[in-house]
Amino acid sequence: MGNIQPMITLHDISVSRDERQILSITAHIPTTGITAVIGPNGSGKTTLLKLLHGLIEADEGSYSPGSQQLGSALVLHHTPLIKASVRCNLAMVRDSSSNTKITESDIDSALASVGLSHLKNQSALKLSAGERQRLSLARAKLQRPQVILLDEPTANLDPSTTEQVETIIKNLALEGCGVIFTSHHLGQVQSLSDQVVFLADGQCLEVSNTENFFKHPQSDQAKKFIHRELGWK
């Protein structure tokens, strides 16, 4: 993982679908440490991650570094796995920084880092939801991204598996990989993230240090959102 630029600058980004603007953003999104992208359902969180990764393009506007330079790995809700062993699902990965194939020892250490070594030869399609998520994280990590983009990484996981995934996220950040994740769990956002990006109706209304955001939200939308979700003040 090379030197990460500290932020992505988005300028007048516009994404529309079915003649409706679903993203309209000018903002600086941090790429170091752990950043949580939060906001109500449909506010554009997943669309933003897909845009940063280059899975979708903006209709207007620009962002820098672009997806090619950013070198990100994206883990969506239901990352597809191939009908083969856990090992095979990792062996197909290429290192995005050098485009080289992954070695057996890379696979072993990625599996160990997510606690899946014992399932190396099991069929990936037989994994539980939590194991699938950990495999997806191992696969993303093997790409040696500068930034890892995670869409609701702990949705539908039990508390103990949630904790395991949160530990993996913290370790990724400690190893120098930027993490940008979406979440509806504000308790998790408070304990895990360094920064918050708050979206509402496709717009970025706040980018702030996490503690500041929860203590002193600036926009009425953020105040209402926190109040609704946390029953705050």
Ligand X SMILES: Nc1ncnc2c1ncn2[C@@H]1O[C@H](COP(=O)(O)OP(=O)(O)OP(=O)(O)O)[C@@H](O)[C@H]1O
Residues at the contact surface with ligand X, assessed by CB under 6 A: 17-18, 22, 39, 41-47
In the complex, the smallest distance separating the C-beta of residue 43 from ligand X, rounded to whole angstroms, is 4
- 18 vs 118, which CB is nearer to ligand X? 18
- 49 vs 135, which CB is nearer to ligand X? 49
In the complex, the smallest distance separating the C-beta of residue 114 from ligand X, rounded to whole angstroms, is 24
Which of 104-113's residues contact partners 24+ apart within 8 Å by CB, and which partners? 106/142, 107/142, 110/138, 110/139, 110/141, 110/142, 111/86, 111/87, 111/138, 113/138, 113/141, 113/168, 113/171
In the complex, the smallest distance separating the C-beta of residue 181 from ligand X, rounded to whole angstroms, is 12
Measured CA to CA, the distance from residue 155 to residue 182 in angstroms comes to 10
- 50 vs 141, which CB is nearer to ligand X? 50
- 113 vs 195, which CB is nearer to ligand X? 195
In the complex, the smallest distance separating the C-beta of residue 56 from ligand X, rounded to whole angstroms, is 8
Of 150, 16, 9, 137, the C-alpha closest to 70 is: 9
Scan for tokens 């495999």, then name that residue.
135
